């Protein structure tokens, strides 16, 4: 039989990693993850972390949306700047902000993600 101290140490070690052992059925608003699983005297114990689902909805400003649409057409920063009457440096700044919001590092990935989200 496992001692309480050993069980507690095992629990703390497993929870500290925070990687879910499995994801179980949550509600529409939550994701339930098993973060600790143990068998003591034939009885299965689970510690479940319930967290809200991430809202992955993309929110771009009107200017970011305009720049994204022009990038999707394949235009370079200089051409976008001329069309929108802003400098290419300002276009690049908006582009960096869009990349950060979307978690991407390229124009192609940005366009793909925005199409996936039905923003373009």
Query: Can you give the residue range of the structural domain that contains 37?
Result: 4-52
Residues 44 and 76 in one domain: no
What is this structure's pTM?
A: 0.55
The pLDDT value recorded for residue 78 is 98
The pLDDT value recorded for residue 71 is 98
DSSP string covering 35-101, please? EEEEEETTEEEEEEEEEEPP-------HHHHHHHHHHHTT--HHHHHHHHTS-HHHHHHHHHHHHHH
The pLDDT value recorded for residue 24 is 55
The pLDDT value recorded for residue 6 is 81
Residue 103 included in any domain: yes
Residues 112 and 68 in one domain: yes
**Structural domain tally of the chain?**
2
The pLDDT value recorded for residue 10 is 75
Residues 46 and 67 in one domain: no
pLDDT tens by residue, the chain, 120 residues: 677 778 777 766 766 555 555 555 555 555 667 777 778 888 888 777 776 655 567 889 999 999 999 999 999 999 999 999 999 999 999 999 999 999 899 999 999 989 988 888
Residues 34 and 70 in one domain: no
């Amino acid at each position: 039989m496992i001692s309480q101290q050993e069980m507690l140490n095992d629990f703390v070690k497993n929870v500290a990693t925070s990687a879910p052992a499995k994801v179980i059925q949550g509600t529409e608003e939550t994701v339930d993850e098993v973060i600790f699983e143990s068998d003591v005297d034939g009885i299965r114990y689970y510690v479940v972390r319930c967290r809200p689902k991430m809202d992955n909805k993309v929110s771009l400003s009107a200017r970011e949306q305009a720049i994204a649409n022009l990038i999707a057409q394949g235009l370079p920063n200089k051409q976008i700047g001329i069309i929108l009457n802003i400098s290419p440096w300002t276009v690049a700044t908006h582009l960096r902000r869009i990349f950060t919001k979307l978690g991407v590092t390229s124009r192609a990935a940005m366009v793909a993600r925005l199409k996936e989200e039905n923003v373009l």
